[in-house]
Amino acid sequence: MENYRNSPLEISKEEFRKIGYQLIDSVSDFLDSIVKTRVTTGESPEQLKKIIGTLSIPEDGTSPQEIITRAATLLLNHSLLNGHPRFLGYITASPAPIGALADLLATAVNPNVGANILSPIATEIEKQTVKWLAELIGVSPSYGGLLVSGGNMANFTAFLTARSVKAPKNIKEDGISNATRKLVVYCPLTTHTWIEKAAVLFGLGSNAIRWIKTDPANRMDIEALEQAILSDLKDGYKPLLAVGNAGDVSTGVIDNLAGIASICKKYDLWFHVDGAYGLPAIVVPELKPLFKGIEEADSIALDPHKWLYSPLEAGCVLVKDPNHLIQTYSFHPAYYNFDTNNGAQNYYEYGLQNSRGFREFKVWLILQQAGRSGYEKMISQDIQLSKLLFEKAKSHSELEGITQNLSITTFRYVPRNYVGNTEKDDTYLNSLNEELLNELQRGDEVFLSNAVVNGK
């Protein structure tokens, strides 16, 4: 068609193809040679600021060829590479390369997966992705849910759903400040900070969190959970939900999910599982028993951008009764004309967003490339590597292996011939290890992250 508008953002077909091919060549070289490059350049914010410059927003545009060439050089040479084989920190997996191709295609088509009419095929793909994720972790495929940006958002989405289902029925109209009984939530001490954000931001307040102590295996102490609920009931509080971790953020411990599920059932609490990081390990047959009880969860957080090797951002929340999402998130403004009568699912009714990107597309392709057996293989190997690291740490004369669960090994440096077992010695070793970690994170050899285990 004739280009009658001559938009400043137009790129001709020939130019797009030329720039695209060049970019694909650069990205292919980058992915192929990542092992030979540095994990990070360790450049300071000041150095990087100099590199990108401090000019104001350009008045006039620049040619796309020049912009893309410059941007590729910048990113490929000045990034921390979490897909590097020696990036061992946090829980950001190496991104599957097909995810990069998926994002290109997804953004070229740009469906708005908030409403079915705006994203007919993308909506079906999201439904299938959600179903496949439920199947992958072995819960009923009748769980419903949606893709969100990551673990915090998946947990928030579940938290708000629990609040609207379990709190007094007038909460939508009157808000929680008018609730006659204060809402409280329960989670093990090992829970990720999302719970604090949720309690504060969604009106319960941080004092509404009952941090339940853990047992010697670092799992939530089930007896302590029940005692806390009983004590709150006696004092007139309204217990809302309990969280079980399926792979806690620091050491990968899986809580006694079946135990928490039965207590939730007994006292009518919502049972939420934060499996953002560790739940994919359920595909390894020997590990499946560790997750017993997951099938009882009212809601589950699971992050494809962690242990399912998806590029950022991709989180997922699954809810046992998908109507609970609609009950929480469905609003019908007059300016929306989105049919729900023909079986069309409108994702704006399932979560916090209205306009939504096509983030499930990369996950859908990755699940197809790996298949269930591919995940079993990759995740088993990750765990073997983690165990190997733990063994190496334990047998090393200057390292102390502390914990090993799923793909997380924790260890610390203890100088040769170091003697001391008082609390003061731990303070010294803690700051020594903190300094070492800071050095390593800025260096280009290996990237590690930290955990605090029993004060160490």
Site for ligand PLP, rule CB under 6 A = 91, 150-152, 155, 192, 194, 249, 274, 276-277, 303, 315
Comparing CB distances to ligand PLP, the nearer of 151 and 311 is: 151
Q: Tell me the closest approach of the beta carbon of residue 281 to ligand PLP, in angstroms.
A: 12
Q: Tell me the closest approach of the beta carbon of residue 170 to ligand PLP, in angstroms.
A: 31
Comparing CB distances to ligand PLP, the nearer of 91 and 294 is: 91
Q: Specify whether the CB–CB gap between 266 and 232 falls below 8 A.
A: no
Comparing CB distances to ligand PLP, the nearer of 119 and 403 is: 403
Q: Tell me the closest approach of the beta carbon of residue 450 to ligand PLP, in angstroms.
A: 13
Q: Specify whether the CB–CB gap between 361 and 104 falls below 8 A.
A: no
Vertex 212, ends 209 and 213: CA angle to 5°? 145
Q: Tell me the closest approach of the beta carbon of residue 151 to ligand PLP, in angstroms.
A: 2
Q: Tell me the closest approach of the beta carbon of residue 39 to ligand PLP, in angstroms.
A: 19
Q: Tell me the closest approach of the beta carbon of residue 155 to ligand PLP, in angstroms.
A: 6
Q: Write the burial class of residue 11 (CB in 10 Å: 0-12 exposed, 13-18 middle, 19+ buried).
A: middle
Q: Which contacts of 216-219 are long-range, i.e. CB under 8 A and separated by 24 or more positions?
A: 217/253, 218/190, 218/248, 218/251, 218/253, 218/403, 218/453, 219/188, 219/253, 219/254, 219/255, 219/256
The CA radius of gyration of the chain, in Å to the nearest whole number, is 24
Q: Tell me the closest approach of the beta carbon of residue 426 to ligand PLP, in angstroms.
A: 25
Comparing CB distances to ligand PLP, the nearer of 91 and 241 is: 91
Three-class secondary structure of residue 79 per DSSP: coil
Comparing CB distances to ligand PLP, the nearer of 193 and 337 is: 193
Q: Write the burial class of residue 410 (CB in 10 Å: 0-12 exposed, 13-18 middle, 19+ buried).
A: buried
Comparing CB distances to ligand PLP, the nearer of 301 and 429 is: 301
Q: Specify whether the CB–CB gap between 154 and 314 falls below 8 A.
A: no
Comparing CB distances to ligand PLP, the nearer of 154 and 167 is: 154
The residue number with the shortest CB distance to ligand PLP is: 151
Looking at residue 280, the DSSP 8-state letter turns out to be: G
Token pair in block for residue 123: 């909506």
Comparing CB distances to ligand PLP, the nearer of 145 and 315 is: 315
Q: Tell me the closest approach of the beta carbon of residue 188 to ligand PLP, in angstroms.
A: 11
Q: Tell me the closest approach of the beta carbon of residue 112 to ligand PLP, in angstroms.
A: 23
Residues 238, 235: Cα–Cα separation, whole Å: 9
Token pair in block for residue 392: 């190496």
Residues 314, 145: Cα–Cα separation, whole Å: 13
**Location of structure tokens 């011939």:** 417
Q: Which of 342, 331, 279, 270 is nearest to 306 (CA)?
A: 279
Comparing CB distances to ligand PLP, the nearer of 198 and 228 is: 198
